[in-house]
Amino acid sequence: MIDVIHFIQTKFYYLVVIFLMMIGLYTTIASRNLIKKVIGINIFQISVFLFYIAMAKVKHGTAPILWDKAVIYDNPLPHVLILTAIVVSVSTTAVALALIINIYKEYETIEEDSILAKQELDEEESILAKQKLDIDRSNMA
């Protein structure tokens, strides 16, 4: 029991990261709504950012600023990496939302199931149109 408490106490940050990661990944896979999928992706990415931030912490470390009372500093490199990764995440979200807006304009829905149904309808229509064209032309010939 002590072991478990100790484990939770010391690895607390990583447990939160894994919890968030699973929520994000599950939402992305299980949700049929395009916007909810993007939200899931965002949660998933943010969990990874937290993972980087958590690993940058050094015991008794202070913020990485030159300061007379500081003896040991946190590692600033992962923070910088994550700034870049946040930019990437924001632009991914922007592209995804732009795509969703266009999908909504074309299909008038953002539910994956109804989009698939409409796509199947499209295909059937195009096959029918082709057959009709063929018949018309053979009649003409």
Partner 1 sequence: MKFIQELPVLIIVIPLIFAVIIPLVGRLNRLLPWIIASTITFFCFLISISLLITVLDTGRISYWLGGWEPPWGIEYAIDYLNAFVLVVVSFIAFIVSLYSRRSVELEINKNKISAFYCIYMLFITGLMGIVITGDIFNIYVFLEISSLAGYGLIAIGRKREALVASYNYLILGTIAATFILIGIGYIYMATGTLNIADLQERLPALFHSKMVLVALAFFTVGLSLKLALFPLHAWLPGAYTHAPSVVSCIMAATATKVGVYAMLRIIFGVFRIEFDIHFIPIANILIVVSSMAIIAGSALAIAQTNLKRMLAYSSIGQIGYIVLGAVLANQIAMTGSIIHILNHALMKGALFMVVGCIIYKTGIEDISGLRGMGKKMPFTMAVFTVAGLSMMGVPLTVGFVSKWYIAIGALNAGMGYLIPVIITGSLLAAVYVWRIIVNIYFPEELPKHELQYTDGGAEITDHKSQYSEAPWSMLGPTIALAVLCIYFGISATAPLYIAEKAAVMLLQ
- Which chain residues interact with partner 1 by CB under 8 A? 25, 28, 34, 37, 41, 44-45, 48, 51-52, 55, 77-78, 81, 84-85, 88, 91-92, 95-96, 99-100, 102-103, 106-107, 115, 119, 122, 133-134, 137-138, 140-141
CB of 67 to partner 1, least distance (A): 22
Contacts of 50 (CB under 8 A, 6+ apart): 13, 16, 17, 20
CB of 69 to partner 1, least distance (A): 25
CB of 25 to partner 1, least distance (A): 7
Residues 45, 22 contacting (CB under 8 angstroms): no
| Separation between Cα atoms, residue 59 and residue 72, nearest integer Å | 8
Give 35 or 69: the residue with its C-beta nearer to partner 1.
Answer: 35
| Separation between Cα atoms, residue 31 and residue 41, nearest integer Å | 11
Give 2 or 14: the residue with its C-beta nearer to partner 1.
Answer: 14
